Amino acid sequence: MVQNKKMPLEEFLEIRKEILNQWKTGDHPGLDLNVAVEKLKSLPKEKNFAYVLRQAKAEGITLVQPRAGVARISEHIELLQFLQDEGKADFLPSTIDSYTRHNRYSNAEDGINESEKQGRSLLNGFPAVNHGVDGCSRVLDSIKVPLQARHGTPDARLLSEIIHASGWTSNEGGGISYNIPYAKKISLEDTIKYWQYCDRLVGYYGEHGIELNREPYGPLTGTLVPPCISNTIAIVESILAAEQGVKNITVGYGQGGNMIQDIAALRALEEQTNHYLKIFGYEDIFVTTVFHQWMGGFPSDESEAMALIGYASTVAALGKATKMITKTTHESFGIPTKEANAKGLRTSRYITKILKDQVIAESVELTDEIEQIKKEVDSLMHAIVKVGKGDIAQGIVNAIKNGVVDVPFAPSELNAGKILPARDIDGKIRILEFGNLGLTEEIKAFHNQKLEERAIKQNRKAEIQMVIDDIYAVSNGNLVGVKGE
């Protein structure tokens, strides 16, 4: 049974021996924890994710980070240098390929060899485990900014070992957020344990004077996710991470589309993450937020795509997110070229810079929305604690199993998949079908009323067709779905 309990050092070190045996790069001398601690200690602070986030938070600015990853080290370095120099990225990523995400390292090896032969990347990301500590260290040595692994890996234990030992100071993911939206039937208890290990590793480094950043994956399925659901999962993963000793956490949220709701969601997320961490007994955790530019279907027209990127940047800046993950005009086609990637970054950075001293006026609409989201998150958190009989890890496992927490459009068979979201007439994401979601009757009545208002204004029924229209709306240039468009 999984529990929210710090993994004892001996147990961690015992599991660690097995993990390092999973692939041949696991026997690298750099994976000796004493060596890794020294390496991380010797990094300049400008290359430490946790440090740069603290600086940005103090200045109240929004920093930009792309996604990027290719198979070969030399090409990956060229790509990252381009995004740093031409794209002016504040943080760099290495997006990990799908084979590595599924622990299929020998397939990744074939992919690297074939990519070398053909002189181009045949993998959809950077296979960090195969490149090992030597390769990953070379990547870090070639750039000037902090580096993070971004992936979608249910069991990222070996990957996490290798990246941190290579000086990469942040890791994205979590036991829930890298399972339910990414896997079909991997046990949630298992992925929570795997991620407790990844967090325990960060805790170990923390005990040795090194602050590493962790980022639960906020957007989940990226499509019409009600803020209360993604915020609740981010809070739960923050608590699980804090228990293992993580001190620097960036909680994420994916753009929903309505500016007021998005700003409200970001504020509620930061305030409630801090609040719940304290309530659960974790006092000294440094929390920042990351805003993801639109994660749903993108317009194929490049001007429209760039406009959406600009809109997202506006919301991130006004929402005072500390970091923003950028998109590109190639989003609807596939993996972007480095030029398109840099353009998305520069557009984004220009807007966040120009808006950095501007503050959105407080309004009744904004404060009401913040209160609404907080009320919903409180209701879900309460329900999770209840079904976990006081344990948050057991609670989230049970809550997902019985639909008390339900992620819309998730591929996982473990997820109830009974809820249906839809937009209200302002474009705010509400809930049409609740399934077994742990919300109070008062909250449900509010959502019903909001969707009924839209139904009347659009002269249609609040039903599944509304959901379908909303899914396609943004790629067609609308926010609220229109029948037949």
Contact set with ligand 5AD (CB under 6 A): 67-69, 95, 124-125, 327, 331, 335-336
Least distance (Å) from ligand 5AD to the CB of residue 69?
A: 4
101 is catalytic: yes
The 8-class DSSP code of residue 254 comes to: E
- Phi/psi for 249 (5° steps) reads -125, 135
Nearer to ligand 5AD by Cβ, of 216 and 336: the residue is 336
Positive/negative CA dihedral, 408, 412, 416, 418:
positive
Q: What is the DSSP string of 377-439?
A: HHHHHHHHHHHTTT-HHHHHHHHHHTTSS--TT---TTS----EEEE-TTS-EEEEE-TT---
- Phi/psi for 64 (5° steps) reads -115, 145
Least distance (Å) from ligand 5AD to the CB of residue 173?
A: 13
Least distance (Å) from ligand 5AD to the CB of residue 84?
A: 15
Cβ(415)–Cβ(405) below 8 Å = no
Cβ(200)–Cβ(214) below 8 Å = no
Least distance (Å) from ligand 5AD to the CB of residue 232?
A: 22
Question: What is the four-CA torsion angle of 455, 461, 465, 470, rounded to 10 degrees?
Answer: 0
Nearer to ligand 5AD by Cβ, of 79 and 473: the residue is 79
Cα separation, 102 vs 129, whole angstroms: 12
Nearer to ligand 5AD by Cβ, of 67 and 428: the residue is 67
- Catalytic residue among 72, 101, 150, 349, which? 101
Nearer to ligand 5AD by Cβ, of 12 and 91: the residue is 91
Least distance (Å) from ligand 5AD to the CB of residue 74?
A: 16
**What is the chain's alpha carbon radius of gyration, rounded to the nearest angstrom?**
21
Q: Supply angle C-alpha 91, 93, 205, rounded to 5.
A: 85
Nearer to ligand 5AD by Cβ, of 49 and 298: the residue is 298
Least distance (Å) from ligand 5AD to the CB of residue 290?
A: 14
List of residues 6+ apart from 394 with CB closer than 8 A: 1, 2, 3, 4, 388
Nearer to ligand 5AD by Cβ, of 167 and 219: the residue is 219
- Catalytic residue among 72, 150, 172, 267, which? 172
Question: What is the four-CA torsion angle of 330, 336, 337, 338, rounded to 10 degrees?
Answer: 110
Catalytic residues: 101, 172
